[in-house]
Amino acid sequence: MSLFTFSAVTYRYPNQTQRPALHDFNLAIPGGEKIAVVGRNGSGKSTFFLHLNGLIKPRQGEVRFQGRPLDYSRKGLTALRQQVALVFQNPDDQLFSASVFQDISFGPLNLGMSDAEARERVLEAAALCDIEHLLEQPTHALSGGEKARVALAGVLAMHPDILAADELLASLDPWGRLKIREIFDVYHAQGKTILLITHDLGLIKHWATWVIVVHEGKAAFSGRADDLLGDEAIMNETGLVQIWRQAMQSC
Ligand SMILES: Nc1ncnc2c1ncn2[C@@H]1O[C@H](COP(=O)(O)OP(=O)(O)OP(=O)(O)O)[C@@H](O)[C@H]1O
Ligand SMILES: [Mg+2]
């Protein structure tokens, strides 16, 4: 059974006049994979992610999680968000507490943990993300890459089964990227699912075990990297073919 299934999902933002962000979006997402989600700017990747933990609801169509339609009641969403955690494209959408410590402890406290348990989760996540030295800093005073790592720590502190990160690596230096990839690999080895939106196509070959291509509001491909690279029609239709050649030359 797929972890998530999107059936004919259409989503149009309230003020969106051109084509909907997602239109007839059909996709089955397998569990336990390291998934790279690629596609051009404006293709609908972030909008697709916002559906994963019910932050937005399809105008038409249906999203299923573990075989059941998403439950958009308050209780249903709380349960879903304990399992599925999202790191937003813009960390400023995620960080809202005064200090880094408070920000990371928000999720665990919200799950009903005691102060002591939440503190342990914060320290564990901070160690993983190399941000222990930032815990007492105000979140607004962090650099872009530091904000990204704090946002990830806030999500890891909840121990989610599914981690969906929107362009998390983009603002990180090479050391930060390596570190985060290590964290993802540890998560993956525990049987968890990682989805990562990325413009770094090298990750398709060197990191991902599964690839999703979003193109003009539709899921154009979902499968193994080798199958994507061997699918001339999809590679041409999505314009990936030229980009791929370039990515491989610069590797
Ligand atoms: N809040 C919003 N209101 C109106 N339109 C929006 C909003 N957010 C996104 N859109 C539009 O929806 C479409 C899909 O946007 P989305 O952010 O999902 O793309 P994306 O693939 O994540 O792009 P990028 O690579 O630039 O992050 C775009 O045309 C965008 O302009
Ligand atoms: Mg985006």
Residue 217 is predicted with a pLDDT of 97
Q: Is 5 in the pocket of ligand 1 (CB under 6 A)?
A: no
Q: Is 39 in the pocket of ligand 1 (CB under 6 A)?
A: yes
Q: 29 by DSSP, 3-state: which? A: strand
Of all protein residues, the one whose alpha carbon is nearest to atom 29 of ligand 1 is: 42
Ligand 2 mean position to 240 CA, how many Å? 18
Q: What is the rounded distance in angstroms from the CA atom of residue 239 to the CA atom of residue 242?
A: 7
| Domain parsing of the chain, residue ranges | 4-249
Ligand 1 mean position to 89 CA, how many Å? 11
Q: What is the rounded distance in angstroms from the CA atom of residue 217 to the CA atom of residue 43?
A: 5
What superfamily does domain 4-249 belong to in CATH? Answer: P-loop containing nucleotide triphosphate hydrolases (3.40.50.300)
What does each of the 251 residues of the chain score in pLDDT, given as a tens digit? Answer: 799 999 999 999 998 888 899 999 999 999 999 999 999 999 999 999 999 999 999 999 999 999 999 999 999 999 999 999 999 998 888 888 889 999 999 999 988 899 999 999 999 999 999 999 999 999 999 999 999 999 999 999 999 999 999 999 888 999 989 989 999 999 999 999 999 999 998 899 889 999 999 999 999 999 999 999 999 999 999 989 888 877 777 65
Residue 225 is predicted with a pLDDT of 93
Q: Is 230 in the pocket of ligand 1 (CB under 6 A)?
A: no
Ligand 1: residue of 22, 37, 46 to mutate (most ligand atoms within 8 A of CB) is: 46
Pairing of strands 4-11, 22-29: antiparallel
Q: Is 176 in the pocket of ligand 1 (CB under 6 A)?
A: no
